[in-house]
Amino acid sequence: MTTVALILKHKGYQVTTVTPTALVSEIVALLSHRRIGAVLVMDQTEQLLGIVSERDVVCSLAANGEKTLEMTAGQLMTRAILVARPDTTVAEAMQMMTVGRFRHLPVMDHDTLVGLISIGDVVKARIMHQDTVVESLTAYVAGSV
């Protein structure tokens, strides 16, 4: 079964991070500029503190209006986040994201951040795996006729 490590091998390991003091207005600009849906919040010692996603911003805008843009990442971030390991299977990652109703999953190797995957990355990996299975079965059936 495909693992998160394989997703990262194809996708890359770059992760966009901010400090807890980054303003939400800056984060929104970063999300838009990089065409991404979330940033991880890290402290000076590279410890993962939380995540700020588009959903966090939208929910805060609904509750707080334009004051949201003056908030910091530390004030807005989701603190209770699940993480995957490189050996987490794609099916396990999909299950975590589906049950938890979130779209971004940090990948940690012990205490070190090694990547960030999205639900789009997971779906793409599942489709590629299914395509490989179909091709293998087709070749097997064609060869045995």
pLDDT digits (tens, 9 = 90+) for 108-126: 999 899 999 999 999 888 8
- Give the pLDDT confidence score for residue 135 in this predicted structure: 72
When pLDDT is cut at 50, 70 and 90, the band that residue 133 belongs to is: low
> In 3-state terms, what secondary structure has residue 131?
helix
Residue 144 pLDDT:
65
The CATH number given to 4-144 is: 3.10.580.10
Q: Say which residues have a Cβ less than 8 Å from residue 53's Cβ, sequence separation at least 6.
A: 37, 38, 78, 102, 103, 104
- C-alpha gyration radius of the chain: 18
Statement: residue 145 has pLDDT above 80: no
DSSP helix/strand/coil, 105: strand
What ranges do the domains of the chain cover?
4-144
Mean predicted lDDT score pLDDT of the chain: 92
**Per-residue tokens: 89:** 């299977």
Which pLDDT score is estimated for 22?
A: 98
Band of pLDDT at residue 127, cut at 50, 70 and 90: confident
Does the pLDDT value for residue 143 go beyond 90?
A: no
Q: Is the pTM of the predicted complex or chain greater than 0.75?
A: yes
Confidence category of residue 97, pLDDT binned at 50, 70, 90: very high
Tokens representing 138?
């087709």
Q: What is the pLDDT of residues 13-39, one digit of tens each?
A: 999 999 999 999 999 999 999 999 999
Q: How far is Cα 43 from Cα 103, in angstroms, rounded to an integer? A: 22
Q: What is the mean pLDDT of residues 75-90?
A: 95
